[in-house]
Amino acid sequence: MDAFLSSTLLVALGEIGDKTQLLSLALVVRYRKPWPILAGVIVATLVNHGISVWFGDWLADTIPTDWLRWILGLSFIALGLWMLIPDKDEEVGDKYRFGPFLTSLVLFFIAEIGDKTQVATVALAVRFQEFWPVLLGTTTGMIAANLPVIWVAHRLASERFEVWAHRISAALFIAFGVWALI
């Protein structure tokens, strides 16, 4: 349960103000079909984070435990510092080549490659070494962060909110990094 809750919390907070929320908003504005967009987000996250959790489990089995503690702690601190750097806005483009589900799936999968959330998912898998709780937790966190955007973020979004969300997320990642080192 620890792995699930920690994964959910870190990803949900880490995604606030992230480019994937901007992508969700852009897709909803373009297609005006929230259910296929949400489904695309879920499938993309399950595939991307599934690969990440598998990689984290492999690292945990391969790298000596003493090294893992330092790598994990420093990774979370680095992620926290990385959270302080604002994301660049990414555009969806003007052409309607595919429908909302496939477009969401592909764009979210690509947006998550090398993203903070993917790196955090690997680190969480190394920390907890529990495949399903980490995968379901990070996926739940992604849904928790993007679901409100898909339906109501256009009313709540502001630059000030995004700045504070990034700061809180950064502090949590740094705290988890220090906790892993202790």
Percent of the chain residues past pLDDT 90, beyond the cut: 40
Residue 54 has pLDDT above 60, yes or no: yes
Band (144; pLDDT cuts 50, 70, 90): very high
Handedness of CA 128, 130, 132, 135 (dihedral sign): positive
Residue 51 has pLDDT above 50, yes or no: yes
The model carries a pTM of 0.72
Q: Is 60 helix (H, G, I), strand (E, B) or coil?
A: helix
What is the overall mean pLDDT for the chain?
83
Integer Cα distance of 29 and 21 in angstroms: 12
Q: What is the pLDDT of residues 145-164, one digit of tens each?
A: 999 888 775 455 456 655 66
pLDDT at res. 154: 47
Tell how many helices (H) and how many strands (E) occur in the chain.
9, 0
Q: Is 130 helix (H, G, I), strand (E, B) or coil?
A: coil
Nearest CA-CA partner of 86 in 26, 172, 167 = 167
pLDDT at res. 92: 47
